[in-house]
Amino acid sequence: MKTHWVAGWLLLTTLTACDFGSKMPDAAATAGAAAPPPVSAAPDPHGQEAAPAPATSTSVKPSPGCFTSSSPRRLTRSQFVNLLTDISRDLAGGDTAVAGRVAGIVIDQAQFPPDQPINPDSARHKGYERIDQALNSRQASAIHASAKAIAGGLTADATQLSTLLGGCSGTPECLDAFIRRAGRLLFRQPLSEAEVAVYRGAAGGATSASAVTKVLATMIASPKVFFVIERGQAVDAGTRCAPLTAHELAARLALHLWESAPDAVLNAAADDGSLLQPAVYTAQVTRMLADARAERAMRGFFRQWFRLDELVALDGKAGTAKFDAFAAGYKPLPGSRDAAVTEVLDMVSWVAANNGSLQQVLTDRHAFARTEDIAALYKTPVWAGGTAPPPLFTEAARVGLLTRIGLMANGASDTTLPIQRASRILGGLTCQALPPPVMDQSNKAADLSGVLSTRERTERITQMDGTSCVGCHKTVLNPWGFVFEGFDALGRVRSTERVLDDAGALLGEKPVDTAVTAKLDGMAARPLAHAAEAQQYVLDSGAFERCFARNQVRYAFGRADTDDDGEIVESLRAQAANGANLRSLFAAIVQRPEFKSIAR
């Protein structure tokens, strides 16, 4: 059952206090004023909404000047796992074995449910996990179970307990020091004396394994871990925006750039207040971007923006007569789908590591296949990974992002899905407004007799004169799918299409027709003959950079972008258009005043 965040908060508090027999810090005093309900997608009856018009440099609405979102926000499952993993390693004195068990405890043992990747434009397609602010009893139960298991693991033997307590003896001062240290990391700010007293009481003043386990489990299960609580600095009455405190800013930085908690260096800058100095703040951002943890946040953003998780298993049809005949000896594996997704993300990482730009993400022609199955589709050697130079595509038709396996393959069929490909490019990568699909059954009368290519069959179904489908499909959607018909359902380059019956028998072979006239918002319609021209059209339009900017707002603020974000979107778009380094571009939003403040 889904609940408002306040109910979820109280549920967590109740579970924690009941199980560990301790009094929790007052939730009302911690939470502050009640927040508006969390953001959620509101699909139309057909499951899709028209996307809001993108902001442009000629029509920019000023930013409200401060962060606006559901508040307090909750962590995503990934952030929760990363945070507990990193903190467990710190508490265990750098023991990676203890920290390495956290993900398994949270996901497999405690069954913490995944977040829903919400797309504000369409319930049909995946979006951002950070926008999912719904709460349910499964999350509360999983947090509770995770807290007990992780705390128990950190106190499992005398050596680990001694490490956790800092090697000190069982004195009240030792217990208090542990409480302050663990609480500082978990709550992302120092504990008050009242909070220290609460946890001291939970331990009964003892430093035995059972007492320390109780304290640590109670802390982990606290709402102050799972929720991002931000009040801002004190400001005059009527002031629209309040700057974040140093501790709030450190937490927001770490959650955005690392998907985790602040480390010791960032915590120190928050504790002495120096993080609020622009030069110190910029230095911390630079340092954090050079840390390996920044990679997972950046890859997470591109994975969700590119909707890579919509790719289903490539071997899903393997073993059926039609698919095996289509595959013609190629055997996708259960892991091929994940390998194809990783290949795209490895390209993003490579571009960032080599001082590349967002435009190079679109046009890079290196192959990053780490496994034989994906390398075979690319007709390239396997890439060794790391700093090893990746091979270039050997086929001229492979021109960059739009022709990679992770975007071209569909995994659910032995034939291509042109409309799905078009939707990814238009709605996903260029943020073009797409009307919702209509419930029109008149196309059932389409003539599908004879040996038809995928393009011919799609045209006959969606471009019938007199139907409500023809207007959108003929001039908007279909051209962006047909121009990529030079790639089959596995993403292999082809010049002809082998049409098969259900038994895998060849009915005929049709030449692939990729010639179209396509249109992007703000651009004149352009004739396109193949994927290279389509990709160049996207590059010329500037839509890729603008779409990046809109999606950065969604990812950073955990909500749909609005007209009020026009100034932020334009600033990010301009930096992308000017060829900013990908890594610094990803972090550009943290320098915005909106990121450093909160609406009052």
> Is the omega angle on the peptide bond into residue 435 within 30 degrees of 0, that is, cis?
no
Structure confidence at residue 110 (pLDDT) = 97
d(CA 538, CA 427): 13
Q: How confident is the model at residue 19 (pLDDT cuts 50, 70, 90)?
A: very low
What region does 167 belong to: left with phi over 0, alpha with psi -120 to 50, or beta?
left
- Say if residue 39's pLDDT is above 90: no
Complete DSSP assignment for 163-224: HHTTT--S-HHHHHHHHHHHHHHHHSSPPPHHHHHHHHHHHTT--SHHHHHHHHHHHHTSHH
Which segment of 161-165, 181-185, 434-438, 475-479 scores lowest on mean pLDDT? 434-438
> Vertex 370, ends 365 and 372: CA angle to 5°?
105
pLDDT, tens digit, 9 for 90 and up, residues 428-458? 999 998 887 776 666 677 889 999 999 999 9
Q: How far is CA 199 from CA 78, 87, 88, 150, 379, in A?
A: 27, 18, 18, 17, 60
Element (H, E) at 270: helix 264-271
Structure confidence at residue 63 (pLDDT) = 58
d(CA 499, CA 600): 62
d(CA 221, CA 230): 19
Q: How confident is the model at residue 280 (pLDDT cuts 50, 70, 90)?
A: very high
d(CA 588, CA 600): 24
Structure confidence at residue 446 (pLDDT) = 83
Nearest to 80 by CA among 224, 199, 294, 232: 224
pLDDT, tens digit, 9 for 90 and up, residues 143-159? 999 999 999 999 999 99
Higher pLDDT, 256 or 12: 256
By percentage, how much of the chain surpasses pLDDT 70? 88
Number of Cβ within a 10 Å radius of residue 413: 16
Half-sphere exposure of 597 (CA within 13 A, CB side): 16
Token pair for 556: 């950073």
SS3 content of the chain, % helix, strand, coil (to 5): 50, 5, 40
> Vertex 470, ends 422 and 493: CA angle to 5°?
30
d(CA 352, CA 544): 17
- Say if residue 184's pLDDT is above 50: yes
Coil, strand or helix: which one is 104?
helix
Number of Cβ within a 10 Å radius of residue 125: 17
Higher pLDDT, 360 or 470: 360
Higher pLDDT, 459 or 411: 459
* Separation of CA 47 from chain center: 21
pLDDT, tens digit, 9 for 90 and up, residues 567-593? 999 999 999 999 999 999 999 999 999
Token pair for 280: 């110190």
CB neighbours of 520 closer than 8 A, spacing ≥ 6? 430, 432, 537, 538, 541, 543
Q: Which residues of 334-371 are buried (b: 16+ CB within 10 A; e: fewer)?
A: eebbbbbbbbbbbbbbbbbeeebbbbbbbbbbbbbbeb
What is the pLDDT of the chain when averaged over all its residues? 88
Nearest to 347 by CA among 306, 397, 311: 306
Contact in structure between 23 and 198 (CB atoms under 8 Å): yes
d(CA 593, CA 65): 6
Structure confidence at residue 436 (pLDDT) = 78
Based on the number of CB atoms within 10 Å of its own CB, is 388 exposed (0-12), middle (13-18) or buried (19 or more)?
exposed
Contact in structure between 426 and 476 (CB atoms under 8 Å): yes
Token pair for 519: 């249109």
Contact in structure between 314 and 337 (CB atoms under 8 Å): yes
By percentage, how much of the chain surpasses pLDDT 90? 78
Q: How confident is the model at residue 374 (pLDDT cuts 50, 70, 90)?
A: very high
Token pair for 527: 């004739």
pLDDT, tens digit, 9 for 90 and up, residues 213-246? 999 999 999 999 999 989 999 998 888 889 999 9
pLDDT, tens digit, 9 for 90 and up, residues 63-94? 567 776 656 799 999 999 999 999 999 999 99
Contact in structure between 437 and 48 (CB atoms under 8 Å): yes
Number of Cβ within a 10 Å radius of residue 446: 16
d(CA 351, CA 353): 6
Structure confidence at residue 69 (pLDDT) = 62
Number of Cβ within a 10 Å radius of residue 472: 16
d(CA 74, CA 39): 12
